[in-house]
Structure 1
Amino acid sequence: MAELLWKRGTTLGEGGFGVVSLAATSNTIFRGVTLPSLIALKSCNFNASQSLKEEVEILLMFKHSPYIVHCFGANVSFEDNVNPYNLLLEYTSRGSLADRLQNCNSLPEFEVKKHT
């Protein structure tokens, strides 16, 4: 089990695979990389973590792409007597494409081009 590298904050969203929270770090070095002061933490119960384990593998394949949310890796923590599996992700303050679409019925063509 890894040491706690962050402090979980506000819940940003919930989905079928777990919860995404904002987390604060103290410029901690994790696997040779200095984490930014804010990250997104995608977490689920360790016993149901197979989909997140697959997600981290896919995200790490695109770690050099400026168009994909950066994944810093994964760890297991101990919080409130449970062991969540956590993906440490780049925090995108403007939200996701799904968030943008939820807030309006359509996007201008230039924005669609930017996202695709």
Structure 2
Amino acid sequence: MATLHHFPDLEAALSRLADLTAPGGVLAIAGVARTSRPKDVMLHLGGAVQHRWLARKYGFWEHTAPTVWPPPHDYLTVRRTAERVLPGVQWKQLLLWRYALIWRKPIS
């Protein structure tokens, strides 16, 4: 959960996660990326409104986890790298600078 942005070599990190996935197993990644296109900015304006509403409703959660901001990889880089390293990966861009990758390791 939101760890790939801590690794400068995205391709090596995805390759290692793929190696650790059992044949037929599923690798599910929820990550954080930075915006690089106007489309991304528009999506995150909606996310910023959502974040303010949730923070007002539930309060702000303080955590002790290390923060890497801005994320070193943009959406396009993450998507292209994942598609190269994890053939057949499913990609979804989410609100608040997040994305999801779902990949099933072939049984071979």
Same-fold call, TM cutoff 0.5: no
> Higher strand share goes to which structure?
1
> How does the TM-score come out when normalised to structure 1?
0.30
